[in-house]
Amino acid sequence: MREIGHFIGGQVVKGTSGRFGDVFDPNTGEVQAKVAFATPSEVGHAIAVAAAAQPTWAAINPQRRARVLMKFIDLVQKEFDGLARLLSSEHGKTFADAKGDVQRGLEVVEFACGIPHLLKGEYSEGAGPGIDLFSVRQPLGVVAGITPFNFPAMIPMWKFAPALACGNAFILKPSERDPSVPMRLAELLVAAGLPAGVLNVVNGDKEAVDTLLTDARIKAVGFVGSSAIAEYVYTTACAHNKRAQCFGGAKNHMIVMPDADMDQAVDALIGAGYGSAGERCMAVSVAVPVGKKTADILLEKLAPRVESLKIGPSTDTQADYGPMITRAHLEKVKSYVDLGVREGAKLVVDGRGFKLQGYERGNFMGGCLFDEVTPDMRIYKEEIFGPVLSVVRATDYEEAVRLPSRHEYGNGVAIFTRDGDTARDFVSRVDVGMVGVNFAIPVPLAYYTFGGWKRSGFGDLNQHGPDAIRFYTKTKTVTARWPSGVKEGAEFVIPTMK
């Protein structure tokens, strides 16, 4: 049985706790590896190694730090397909989807390569008599990222690339469900020239997380996962004087206006609702057709598409999506479908009984489609994180705006319409952090920031883009005056510009 340890001090090390987690093959349900769970002392050792390595890394000029990231990009590109296959084998997403996971992560690394420009401060000559003012951005020190199972390549790169570019050392605690790709990314960073100890990977569970949250040497923590855990990480980190950016769950709505291109809308719902078996924080899980006629047309076109979804093993290049991450998660998603039926929603397409010949023990589930879902139902209120789409019929546009705006989650939302005025009004008024116009999964490109509102995000700064540079640095402002411009005598009042 393959055993996965940790990556500390530039090399793979075995775990010493004697505690392990199972890494499953989602296609078969079989255990394919064991991952070591770190003890507090192992996490503490990784932090100490990072703290020792960070000052030297920070002293390297930003352009040379960027060159390490550029070399890392080159190495990842050379192993691109292999990384995607490894990711797919542990997560269950299709090979094509896994390649997208790697690519979207690399795009943030590419953004971080612009760090010489991104770290530029401000300068004001002659701000006062013989006085110059300027600001500089400096690294925080040792920072940490706690990342989820659903994007085991992308989100670790979203976290560590800007942090390293800014001159920090980084501790990564990836999901214990699919840890192999994060471990390999760490090896490739060292091969690209990152000094040993600047990036360390500790695998584990809550014990490892709590150590990162309470150790005073960790100056900032980034997290992606469920809202309950995001809130816990945020409050605990803040209580220990750390910066925190924590992203939680979602219930992303897609509004379909009567004038929308219905075929385009159905294509968008199929891809955004069922891609990656719905295990995406940006998945569309609620369709909101406006008006009875729109809803009837949408359901007529949508139902047969859901019924014809091709579900297969992650190795099947023709599959629309593969298995879910674990048997436990599969059963949880099925229980939500059971709940929706009990709550009175109309189950138009039932995928609970799906079985794949030759993979009967795999974590597969067919697409499910509910109609006549109402806002008081738990299947509407709660994140299901599976291939389940709920249709909530809105009587008019105003109701369609209210639904996502009043939901406790505020991650992503989309509107499909041909009317520019309607789209512009929706973008302005909807109380959600990321908005798509005729674009179902509005994940911003790397040079904009990613983050949701309300219980989808905790903290003031978002992921990647300019916010990442602000999050991983502290601003130092300098007021300078040289002796030739100094008058004799003491000054006893506060300096002003009068």
Residues labelled catalytic: 281
The 3-state secondary structure of the chain, one letter per residue: CEEECEEECCEEECCCCCCEEEEEECCCCEEEEEEECCCHHHHHHHHHHHHHHHHHHHHCCHHHHHHHHHHHHHHHHHCHHHHHHHHHHHHCCCHHHHHHHHHHHHHHHHHHCCHHHHCCCCEEEEEECCEEEEEEEEECCEEEEECCCCCCCHHHHHHHHHHHHCCCEEEEECCCCCCHHHHHHHHHHHHCCCCCCCEEECCCCHHHHHHHHHCCCEEEEEEECCHHHHHHHHHHHHHCCCEEEEECCCCEEEEECCCCCHHHHHHHHHHHHHHHHHCCCCCEEEEEEECHHHHHHHHHHHHHHHHCCCECCCCCCCCCECCCCCHHHHHHHHHHHHHHHHHCCEEEECCCCCCCCCCCCCCCCCCEEEECCCCCCHHHHCCCCCCEEEECCECCHHHHHHHHHHCCEECEEEEECCCHHHHHHHHHHCCCCEEEECCCCCCCCCCCCECCEECCEECCCCECCHHHHHHCEEEEEEEEECHHHCCCCCCCCCCCCC
Per the rule left: phi > 0, alpha: psi between -120 and 50, beta: everything else, 422 is alpha
Q: And the tokens for 226?
A: 């469920």
Q: For residue 243, give every residue at least 6 positions away whose Cβ sits within 8 Å of its Cβ, in sequence order, or none.
A: 140, 219, 220, 221, 237, 459, 461, 471
Q: Closest Cα partner for 479 from 458, 465, 464, 494?
A: 494
